[in-house]
């Protein structure tokens, strides 16, 4: 029988745990070996123990019975402990592999994969695989061994009666086969709905302000209830399908037992079987039902695990960012050349950028402006190679960024986005993020340069104060300045500022803009700003419309040209006056 590829892959992950797996298997073998011992003792007791004078010492009876269950208890404990030890480590391995992969997938990965699905795969579906391996291995090995040992014992006792009992096995296999396909299909739908439910929960916890302001409580409640009800329906369908397997196999077993009793009575009337033989046979046969039931029930976790494995291994096998390219041996000077750059997002027919040609000299500040959707963010996201160009080339100091190792390329850059991301750690840890050996003095200097010194002085633990989930314990302006401090700390030759002062009030903006002006000296800086007043001192301003460069020049030159930039500037100035 050929194993499903994902099951085979999961089993191959057990290789590092061969020794402990061997101990677990030994426990299973011992457990299976103890199964026929009790009916054998019963046969001996009935045939020789209830005679006028037993043919054995009475003290051997409790010793034998207790000994059987002690041996069984030790072997069962060893199996359970070892399988739990292995499965917990395997679960960690799966989650580590998934986490490592999501750290290295390209940003475009999340355009087709929701955060909820990723969380669901890491937390729920990985556990389903572990349950599959633990239950399937335990049942298929221990229970299969038990069935073989008990069948051997039954054949030794009475081969004619055993043939009747053997009818159970092929009938059970037929039942399992019929239910298997339906269970797997239901499980796949169940996992999809579970991922959707996880996504709803994740979005609801993240968007509390929006929900409250726009009275979205009922909408979110409806979304949750719909997916929760759908999840329940699929759970009931799976449970019904699996539950039907057990009574069917039990009815088949009852029929077989009834036939065995009739045949045994006939044999007893002919003097071909003793009472001890009959009781021992019935006991062993009834003991055979439990492992057969377990083998029938293993289909549930097997199908759930196989369905979950598709999502888990699909995430692990997601194509990561490239690992090729050379390492830059020194700090970049910061020259950037955009040579006929074209870019289209995957699945989009309309290009986001077309024929972008631009040279940015070391230390120069270039501002990108234009209406929303013009391609400003797309262009600056190409510089750290978050996306690869679909045409043309981008070069750093004359070398194509595609030929530079990503880690080395991104070491040369710092970014402050309008969407500030902070980690649930201390102020200092957020400022020095990415530095394995943070310099405390540099952290304090970066905080001071970002005009955070007064804020930090008022925090209960200073630099060691936790900022909360995404900096919820700080104001919007403080969070923005903390992100700027992080960029100051990195001290990279290239700065990317995407609406870096968008969350600041007028007073804070002046302070931080002064710090940024100092930071930008001697560094190549790419600035995206909707508030045109913040980029008036840029060396050049690039105006983008529908993915094309339509104007380039200084603030004064573009105003004098009275083109697109001048229209944008006057429109914005009029709004501010109003």
The DSSP line for 305-318 is HHHHHHHHHHHHTS
Residues 436 and 287 in one domain: no
Total domains present in the chain: 2
Does residue 261 register a pLDDT over 50? yes
Q: Residue 171 burial (CB < 10 Å; 0-12/13-18/19+)?
A: middle
Radius of gyration, alpha carbons of the chain: 35
Domain boundary among 491, 519, 553: 491
Better pLDDT: 302 or 485 = 485
* Percentage of the residues of the chain whose pLDDT score is greater than 70: 80
**In CATH, what number is assigned to the domain containing residue 458?**
3.40.50.300
Residue 437 phi/psi, 5-degree rounding, is: -130, 80
* Range of lowest pLDDT (62-66, 208-212, 352-356, 412-416): 208-212
* Range of lowest pLDDT (385-389, 510-514, 546-550): 510-514
Q: What is the 3-state secondary structure (H, E, C) of 163-218?
A: HHHCCHHHHHHHHHHHHHHHHHHHHHHHHHHHHHHHHHHHHHHHCHHHHHHCCCHH
* Dist CA 334 CA 205 (whole Å): 41
H or E segment to which residue 353 belongs: strand 353-360
Does residue 406 register a pLDDT over 50? yes
Provide the pLDDT confidence category of residue 269 given band limits of 50, 70 and 90.
Answer: low
Does residue 345 register a pLDDT over 60? yes
What is the three-class DSSP state of 336? strand
Please name the residues in contact with 427: beta carbons below 8 A apart, sequence gap of 6 or more.
447, 452, 456, 459, 462, 463, 464, 465, 467, 482
Residues 60 and 171 in one domain: yes
Domain boundary among 261, 292, 316: 316
Listing DSSP states for 495-510 in one string gives: EEEESTTTT--HHHHH
> In 270-347, which ranges are continuous DSSP H helix?
275-297, 299-316
Single out the residue of 498, 500, 483, 493 nearest to residue 520, CA to CA: 493
Residues 426 and 305 in one domain: no
Provide the pLDDT confidence category of residue 577 given band limits of 50, 70 and 90.
Answer: very low
Better pLDDT: 261 or 209 = 261
Provide the pLDDT confidence category of residue 370 given band limits of 50, 70 and 90.
Answer: confident
* Range of lowest pLDDT (9-23, 299-313, 480-494): 299-313
Query: Quick check: is 534 in a domain?
Result: no
Does residue 434 register a pLDDT over 80? yes
Does residue 573 register a pLDDT over 80? no
What's the confidence (pLDDT) of residue 403?
Answer: 93
pLDDT, mean of residues 109-119: 80
Please report the beta strands in 116-162, taking only residues with DSSP state E, as ranges in sequence order.
none
* Dist CA 407 CA 328 (whole Å): 10
Number of H helices, E strands in the chain: 22, 10
Query: Measured in whole angstroms, how far is the alpha carbon of residue 388 from the centre of its chain?
Result: 25
Domain boundary among 431, 458, 491: 491
pLDDT, mean of residues 349-376: 89
> Going edge to edge, which strands form the sheet with 413-416?
413-416, 494-498, 524-528, 365-369, 540-545, 548-553
Query: Strand pairing partners for 414?
Result: 495
pLDDT, mean of residues 240-265: 69
What's the confidence (pLDDT) of residue 47?
Answer: 61
Query: Strand pairing partners for 553?
Result: 541
Domain residues for 80? 5-180+245-316
Query: Quick check: is 236 in a domain?
Result: no
* Dist CA 568 CA 576 (whole Å): 12
pTM of the model: 0.74
Query: Quick check: is 355 in a domain?
Result: no
Cβ neighbours around 206 below 10 Å, total: 13
**In CATH, what number is assigned to the domain containing residue 279?**
1.20.1560.10
Query: Quick check: is 185 in a domain?
Result: no
What's the confidence (pLDDT) of residue 578?
Answer: 46
> Please, what is the end-to-end C-alpha distance for the chain in angstroms?
78
């Amino acid at each position: 029988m050929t194993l499903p590829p994902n099951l085979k892959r999961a089993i191959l992950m057990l290789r590092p745990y061969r020794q402990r797996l061997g101990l677990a298997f030994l426990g299973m073998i011992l457990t299976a070996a103890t199964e026929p011992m009790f009916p054998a003792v019963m046969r001996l007791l009935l045939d020789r123990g209830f005679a006028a004078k037993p043919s054995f010492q009475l003290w051997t009876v409790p010793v034998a019975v207790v000994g059987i269950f002690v041996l069984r208890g030790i072997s069962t404990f060893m199996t359970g402990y070892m399988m739990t030890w292995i499965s917990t480590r395997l679960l960690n391995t799966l989650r580590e592999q998934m986490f490592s992969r999501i750290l290295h997938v390209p940003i475009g990965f999340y355009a087709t994969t929701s955060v909820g699905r990723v969380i669901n795969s890491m937390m729920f579906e990985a556990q389903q695989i572990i349950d599959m391996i633990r239950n399937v291995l335990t049942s298929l090995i221990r229970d299969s061994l038990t069935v073989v040992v008990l069948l051997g014992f039954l054949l030794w006792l009475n081969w004619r009666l055993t043939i009747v009992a053997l009818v159970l096995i092929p009938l059970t296999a037929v039942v399992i086969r019929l239910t298997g396909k339906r269970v797997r299909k239901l499980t796949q739908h169940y996992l999809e709905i579970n991922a959707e439910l996880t996504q709803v929960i994740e979005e609801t916890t993240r968007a509390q302000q929006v929900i409250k302001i726009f009275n979205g409580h009922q909408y979110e409640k409806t979304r949750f209830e719909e997916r929760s009800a759908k999840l329940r329906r699929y759970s009931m369908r799976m449970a019904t399908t699996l539950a039907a397997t057990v009574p069917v196999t039990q009815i088949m077993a009852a029929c077989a037992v009834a036939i065995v009793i009739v045949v045994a009575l006939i044999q007893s009337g002919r003097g071909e079987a003793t009472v001890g033989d009959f009781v021992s046979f019935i006991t062993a046969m009834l003991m055979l039902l439990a492992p057969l039931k377990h083998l029938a029930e293993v289909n549930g976790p097997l199908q759930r695990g196989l369905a979950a494995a598709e999502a888990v291994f699909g995430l692990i096998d997601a194509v990561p960012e490239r690992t090729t390219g050379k390492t830059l041996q020194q700090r970049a000077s910061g020259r950037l050349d955009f040579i006929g750059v074209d870019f289209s997002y995957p699945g989009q027919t309309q290009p986001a950028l077309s024929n972008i040609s631009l040279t940015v000299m070391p230390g120069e500040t270039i501002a990108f402006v234009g209406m929303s959707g013009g391609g400003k963010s797309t262009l600056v996201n190409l510089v750290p190679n978050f996306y690869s160009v679909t045409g043309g080339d981008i070069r750093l100091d004359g070398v194509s960024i595609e030929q530079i190792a990503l880690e080395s390329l991104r070491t040369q850059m710092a970014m402050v986005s309008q969407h500030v991301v902070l980690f649930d750690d201390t102020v200092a840890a957020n400022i020095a993020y990415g530095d394995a050996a943070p310099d405390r003095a540099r952290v304090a200097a970066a905080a001071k340069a970002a005009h955070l010194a007064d804020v930090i002085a008022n925090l209960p633990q200073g630099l060691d104060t936790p900022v909360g989930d995404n900096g919820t314990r700080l104001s919007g302006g403080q969070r923005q300045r903390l992100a700027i401090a992080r960029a100051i700390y990195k001290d990279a030759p290239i700065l990317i500022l995407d609406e870096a002062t968008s969350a600041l009030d007028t007073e804070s903006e002046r302070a931080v803009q002064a710090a940024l002006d100092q930071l930008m000296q001697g560094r190549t800086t790419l600035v995206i700003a909707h508030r045109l007043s913040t980029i008036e001192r840029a060396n050049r301003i690039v105006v983008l419309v529908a993915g094309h460069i339509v104007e380039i020049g200084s603030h004064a030159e573009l105003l004098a040209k009275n083109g697109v930039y001048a229209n944008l500037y006057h429109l914005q100035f009029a709004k501010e006056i109003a």
